[in-house]
Amino acid sequence: MDPVFSAEKCSVGPLFHVLPRSDANRVFEVFGRAFERYVCDALRRAFPKAAPSLVTPLSCNVEGRDQYGGQYEVDACLNYVTELVLFEIKAVWGQESALSPESSDALLGLLRKRFSVVDESVKGVGQLARIVNALVTRRWFGPNNEFEAVRRVYPVIVVHDRLSGSPGFGTFIVEEFRRALSLHGEAGPGEFASGHLRILAPVVLTVEDLELLEVSVERCGLREFLAEYSRWSPDRMVPFSDFLAEISGSGRVFANRALAATSVEVLTRAIKRLFPHGATGSKVENERMDEP
């Protein structure tokens, strides 16, 4: 049994099983919202609410309008007054027909349609750049001006599709972000400068990366992980998962407690279904095992 294939079949198999009998757009929309909730729940566990007298940095589903009527949406953010981590959460897949050397132009077109700016469509990294542009031009500082003192921004895209964590995809995202970012210059390897802001080049996290970071940020802050990765791969050619593998021996990367607990629960339920008379099998099977 191939463990990667089996895990993929278990995680997204049910979704594609119902597609032929359903409205595909509606199903993917519902799945996208469910994935966004899953990511936000992971962030809430990593950054729980502080005591009433303290400010909680995490906010999810932030929305607002500027004075000109422009609308802004942030899937999740961590506000540290002068530093801001912006999360854009995407649950989209690449079409297999576009994943071949002969269709590289079609693949780039598909990726731009789903992760960047195409005509009037602004998605993924385009939405992150739009928010940064609003901060630079002082058009919007959040619903209650809570981003007004921000001087450094960490844009992050969280993706479901493992192919989006392949080498080179991060570089594509950086270039699309560069195209969508207004009036900017290079502030150093892996960084931009625009107006009063310094902006880290976008970082792509797969959901597996986020699951590992959930507990790991207890020992090393998320901003520190992102900044170190930025220095390690300033062009984002090497995915974040390789960076985590590189530093895994340093004692800073830990397994996900919530995911382990859920896995044990699912395994226990599976054992009860497969072996209703006991973990070692039915009564008849036990008697046969005792025979000489």
Position 234 pLDDT exceeds 90? yes
Helix axis angle, 3-18 relative to 24-46, nearest 10°?
130
Q: Which residue has the higher pLDDT, 133 or 96?
A: 133
Q: How does pLDDT run across 260-290, given as a tens digit for each residue?
A: 888 888 888 888 888 888 755 444 444 444 4
- In sequence order, which residues have a C-beta less than 8 Å from that of residue 33 and are 6 or more positions away? none
- At 203-226, the pLDDT tens digits run 999 999 999 999 999 888 999 999
Q: What is the mean pLDDT of the chain?
A: 86
In this prediction the pTM is 0.84
Question: Does the pLDDT value for residue 94 go beyond 90?
Answer: no
Q: What angle do CA 110, 206, 11 make, to 5 degrees?
A: 90
Pairing of strands 117-118, 83-90: unpaired
Percent of the chain with pLDDT over 70: 91
C-alpha torsion angle, residues 50, 55, 57, 60 (rounded to 10) = 80
pLDDT of residue 103 exceeding 70? no
Measured distance between the N- and C-terminal CA atoms of the chain, rounded to whole angstroms: 32
- Residue 101: is its pLDDT beyond 90? no
Rounded Cα distance between 132 and 23, Å, is 35
Local confidence band at 42 (pLDDT 50, 70, 90 cut-offs): very high
Q: Taking the CA of residue 186 as centre, how many other CA atoms within 13 Å lie in the half-sphere pointing to its CB?
A: 7
CA 29 from centroid of its chain's CA atoms:
17
Per-residue model confidence (pLDDT) at position 282: 45
The pLDDT assigned to 286 comes to: 45
Residue 201 carries which DSSP code?
P
pLDDT for res 251: 86
pLDDT at 288: 43
Q: What does the pLDDT read at residue 102?
A: 65
Residue 72 has a pLDDT of 93
- Amino acid identity, residue 227? A
